[in-house]
Structure 1
């Protein structure tokens, strides 16, 4: 299963980081953390768009490109669900 952990506002020793990682055969791979800015604040509204392309996810927050993450799951129709954990209130989810 390919998984991505999009952000950690406050998790253990992590503060305001966006972590990307994949899990294959029950083993987590190397984390990616580099981003040019941290777009999310506690108790603030934000809109996140995730575009699934042939070889990567393209993520934008509030209509600003944030990152690309090379996924490892092919074919693309294996992406069948979106999982969101933690303290976030979802007001809308759209699949296009």
Structure 2
């Protein structure tokens, strides 16, 4: 089963069934002057849910972070320690990108434009995830759940 939406609004929020979701494909671009864009795999559609299994935060110029990828999770209402992955920053303002998130039993693997970027160890069961939320400075072309 595949679910695909074209040109969705931001913030983009969509329920998903993690019993069959194994890949999330996101196409879009960050506008000129972007500060950051963020992808959350979480429990429920709220802005601040109790459980967030995976946060992928692409920071162009946010706080002290410039051109950095930061990952995190939220357990029982408490944000955990941000992980600043030592990886290249594959995004440029006004340039199309393709993000693929592969949901495994024990990790989230992220590819950008076909290249392996990072792997984030799951700290919550994938079964707690029932929603994807994408927000901040991004224009989405499509989101496909499969």
Give the SS at the match of 1:37.
Answer: coil
Runs of 4+, deviation exceeding 2 Å? none
Which consecutive residues of structure 2, in runs of 5 or more, have no partner in the other structure? 1-50
Asked if the contact 1:39/1:61 (under 8 Å) is kept, the reply is: yes
Aligned length: 95
TM-score, normalization by structure 2: 0.61
Q: Which structure 1 segments of 5+ residues have no match?
A: none
Please state if 1:85 is matched with 2:138. no
- Structure with more contact order per residue of length (Cα contacts < 8 Å, sep ≥ 6): 2
C-alpha RMSD of matched pairs (Å): 1.2
Report 1:1-96 matches (<5 A).
Answer: 1-2=51-52, 3-74=54-125, 76-96=126-146
Q: Which structure's residues are more often strand, by fraction?
A: 2
- Length-normalised TM-score, structure 1: 0.90
